[in-house]
Amino acid sequence: MFDLSGKVALVTGGSRGIGRAIGEGLARHGARVVLAYANGEAQARDAVRAVEESGGRAEAVQLDVTNSAEVEQRIPEIAKRHGRLDILIANAGISIDGLLIRLRDEDLERILAVNLRGAIASARAAIKPMMRARTGRIVFVSSVVGEMGNAGQTAYAASKAALLGVTKSLAREYASRGITVNAISPGFIDTDMTAVLTEEQKQDISTKIPLGRTGTPAEVAAAAVFLASDEAGYITGQSLRVNGGMYM
Ligand code: NAI
């Protein structure tokens, strides 16, 4: 339904989980996809292979979003190599959970560095080629936790709530340039990030989800494909919740 052919998309943290699924979704709809990975080159190559085997076009690029010099260099390189950069999915993220009284400064710093500063740096580098083209799509991957909070996730929630403010500010700042900026707020999605939870914890979470189950990376990817499409051209500054009704 959505045609992304001719478009170039960059997905940060694209080697696995939600980022990989988004990359696969964008490629299935015709985009040429750059899967950026911080480490885990083998996983990234695997993701590229999967895209290519299903007839899409992808490549892997090493990019640690906490290294702003690297971000400032690599993203324009990608845009230059392909002659354009239409879509940025700022997906890279980490969680380090624990009660506030045990929260270490270095963990707080690390979460903000990846989830917030990394996303802003990625957007800053990607927006320049988009401004020149007077069109573009930026999608930040926030979280239900940024909207409703979660005990044990103060730092993570802060970083994800902040992304919603970033989304709205950039949406206002770049609307006149034809660039839309939105967020996706996934609920509880089955990935390596959530694999650390026990079966009991997962069961408990499922009872709080009206649809009665956790989500899949592909269900988040579907939202990203939509927001990246021409059909979503009148949507900006929004957060699309993909959470099974967990938060409304
Ligand atoms: P994941 O842990 O499988 O994937 C995270 C990705 O980010 C990995 O590819 C990792 O290499 C990358 N990454 C980490 N640090 C990086 C850095 N410094 N530079 C570049 N890339 C880096 O987790 P998942 O679940 O796929 O998460 C993807 C995004 O979705 C994250 O932003 C996460 O916070 C968000 N999210 C996940 C939810 C879930 O239930 N799994 C729920 C809501 C949001």
Q: Ligand 1: does its nearest atom lie under 6 Å from the Cβ of 137? A: no
Rounded to a whole number of angstroms, the CA Rg of the chain reads 17
Residue 145 CB partners (closer than 8 Å, separation 6+): 153, 156, 157, 160
CB-neighbour burial class of residue 87 (10 A; exposed 0-12, middle 13-18, buried 19+): buried
What is the spatial distance between Cα 190 and Cα 168, in angstroms, rounded to a whole number?
28
Question: Which candidate, 186, 195, 177, places its Cα nearest to that of 130?
Answer: 177
CA of 185 to the centre of ligand 1 (A): 13
Q: Distance of CA 223 to CAs 79, 95, 165, 235, Å? A: 24, 22, 20, 12
84 lines ligand 1 (CB under 6 A): no
pLDDT, one tens digit per residue, over 22-49 is: 999 999 999 999 999 999 899 999 999 9
Question: Closest by alpha carbon to 185, among 18, 29, 31?
Answer: 18
Closest CA to 7 of 136, 123, 121, 131: 136
Q: Measured from the CA of 145, which atom of ligand 1 is nearest?
A: 43
Whole-number Å distance between alpha carbons of 49 and 27? 12
Gap from CA of 141 to ligand 1 centroid (Å):
9
At 187, the pLDDT band (50, 70, 90 cuts) reads very high
Residue for token digits 């949406």?
171
Question: Does 247 participate in catalysis according to the annotation?
Answer: no
pLDDT at 148: 97
Q: What is the largest CA-CA distance in the chain?
A: 51
Please state the rounded mean pLDDT for residues 144-153.
97
Q: Which residue has 């959470």 as its token pair?
A: 243
- Nearest-atom index, ligand 1, CA of 191: 25
Summarize pLDDT for 73-112 with one digit per residue, the tens.
Answer: 999 999 999 999 999 999 999 999 999 999 999 999 999 9
Average pLDDT over residues 55-68: 97
Q: Quote the pLDDT of residue 202.
A: 87
Contact 144/247 with Cβ under 8 angstroms?
Answer: yes
112/136 Cα distance (integer angstroms): 25
Q: At which residue do the structure tokens 């707080």 appear? A: 108
Confidence bin at 1 (pLDDT 50/70/90) = confident
> Residue 31's CB: how many other CB atoms inside 10 A?
28
C-alpha 15 chain-centroid distance: 12
Q: How remote is the CA of residue 176 from the centroid of ligand 1, in Å?
A: 31
Segment holding 118, helix H or strand E: helix 118-133
